[in-house]
A and B are shown apart, each in its own frame.
Chain A
Amino acid sequence: MADLRTGAPAVRHDFARFFGSEYRAVLRLAYALTGEPAAAEDIAQDAFLAALRHWPRVAGYADAGAWVRRVAANLAVSRWRRLRNEARALTRLAAQRPTEVADLPAPDAAFWAAVRALPRRQAQVIALHYLEDRPVAEVAVVLGLAEGTVKSALHAGRRTLAVRLDLEVDR
């Protein structure tokens, strides 16, 4: 267990650097998949807390950022976790604790709402593909899926999105 309370400055420094470089991207992913600023903050923090708890193992991964994105993506599409985060967000609203994430303009909110309306696997793949401009192989690594699965989810998701948003699919 990474002990960030009682010394281990190297560990603390490593994790802080990792957090600094990845937090905003993970927060963005969580926001895209939840549509709720407060819930996205909670999910991003939960994902990094999980990384911190398993830090010696996670730090050894070739792409620790992929691991924390997978956790956040799974947290964001888990129905009852999402409800739990919504409940927390309501409580936070009642306590008047503001979030640091702004609301999206209506057309962009509508785009991400359409992404979230896709089946959860397709939504994860589409969000990672567009947010981080990752190729299929990297999305497959992040989500722990086969490349073929990602390809078909991406194809189906893009086709559905284009129909629902009345847009043309790029060739």
Chain B
Amino acid sequence: MTLDGRARQAVRALDEATAEAGTVAALDRVLRRQRRALPLQLAVAAVLVLVLLAGALLLGPAGERREVPAGPAPTTGPKSRPVRPPGTILGTKSYPIPPGPPFPRVAASAFPPLFDSGKVRDLRRRSAHPLAFPTWLPARFNWRMPHSQVLPRLTDYYLQAAGSTGPEIEVFHSQLDDGRSTDPLDHPVKGLTMPNGLKVFPYQDMVTAGTDAYIVSDRHEYVIVYFHDPCGGSSCLTRQERWRFVRGLAMVDHGR
């Protein structure tokens, strides 16, 4: 048999396999996902407008002050380096990493109550993925874990706050490679090296608006953390809290 003949046969099989897929139901699912994202996009747009207005008000007088001569410009001496705001890394204008002291390395006993169970302790002891379990969760949300899977090569779980309409934190990890995405849909962002040698790559998800993605990697295994926004921005985790959760994963002692 020839390759093209075999391919035609495989294409026919694919046609038959997808023949029952209903476009109406699929379209409805896409529209529902779009509707869920709309309030968030409007809120982000409103906040942006407010910030711009406030900035314009604040910068107005400053702009006038800049017109006052400030003396002769220096013509000699070393060139000054551009100052980056604290807590940012190159290439992450839209993704500032909040500043803060290194997260303390913690023992398993510091797990948040949700993960402080015999099962998780046992998993952590035996798991090839010690990075998978968080060491910090803000208690005020009364978290629950609606779904979780623990498999030999893949562990994932979702965390949902009480009263929220959907999971807010999605974590899964694997051991395939260092996890850096080469997908042109992902906004490329340089990684941040933690004091224990692990790297954190923040990603801007270009498909799902309102979703933050972080990858924590030691070049052998990696954890991907998605932060969704099921609560319209008002009572969800703040950016600082999201980052603290990621640091809790990244700064955990790799030797358990």
Residues in A lying within 8 Å of B, measured CB to CB? 1, 3-5, 16, 19-20, 23-24, 27-28, 31-32, 37, 41, 44-46, 48-50, 52-53, 71, 74-75, 78-81, 83-84, 86-87, 90-91, 94-95, 100-105, 107-108, 111-112, 130-131, 158, 161-162, 165, 167-170
Contact = CB atoms under 8 A, between A and B. Distances in A.
Given A5-B38, A49-B30, A108 B13 contact: yes
- On chain B, which size bracket covers the interface? 35 or more
A80 B205 CA distance: 12
Please list the 4 inter-chain residue pairs (A to B) with the smallest Cβ-Cβ separation, ordered nearest first: A108-B13, A78-B183, A111-B10, A87-B156
Interface in B169-198: 170, 172, 174, 176-177, 179, 181-186
B14 to A, nearest CB: 5
B41 interface: yes
B147 interface: yes
Given A74-B185, A130-B11, A131-B14, A170 B2 contact: yes
B30 A48 contact: yes
Contacts of A104: 10, 13-14, 17
Nearest to B1: A167
Contact of A91 (B21, B149, B184): B149
30 contacts: A3-B38, A5-B34, A23-B26, A28-B18, A31-B14, A46-B208, A49-B208, A52-B30, A53-B34, A74-B184, A74-B185, A75-B185, A78-B186, A79-B179, A80-B181, A83-B174, A87-B154, A87-B156, A87-B170, A90-B149, A90-B151, A91-B158, A100-B22, A111-B10, A130-B7, A131-B14, A165-B6, A167-B3, A170-B4, A170-B5
Contacts of B185: 50, 71, 74-75, 78
Interface of B: 1-11, 13-18, 20-23, 25-27, 29-31, 33-35, 37-38, 41, 147, 149, 151, 154, 156, 158, 170, 172, 174, 176-177, 179, 181-186, 206-209, 215, 222, 224, 226
A48 to B, nearest CB: 5
B2 A5 contact: no
A127 B219 CA distance: 31
A80 B13 contact: no
A70 to B, nearest CB: 9
A79 B176 contact: yes
B102 to A, nearest CB: 26
B34 A49 contact: yes
Contacts of A108: 9-10, 13-14
A90 B1 CA distance: 37
A32 B27 CA distance: 21
Given A87-B149, A104-B17, A80 B23 contact: no
A120 to B, nearest CB: 9
Nearest to A48: B30
Given A41-B26, A108-B13, A158 B3 contact: yes
A75 B26 contact: no
B29 A45 contact: yes
B3 A161 contact: yes
Contacts of B174: 83
B42 to A, nearest CB: 9
A86 B156 CA distance: 10
Given A78-B185, A79-B181, 12 more contacts: A16-B27, A28-B18, A31-B17, A41-B21, A74-B184, A75-B207, A78-B182, A80-B181, A87-B172, A102-B17, A170-B2, A170-B3
A46 B3 CA distance: 32
B14 A49 contact: no
- Looking at B8, B183, B226, the one whose CB has the most chain A CB atoms below 10 A away is B183
Given A19-B23, A94-B147, A102 B16 contact: yes
A3 B39 CA distance: 11
Contacts of A169: 2-3
A41 B21 CA distance: 9
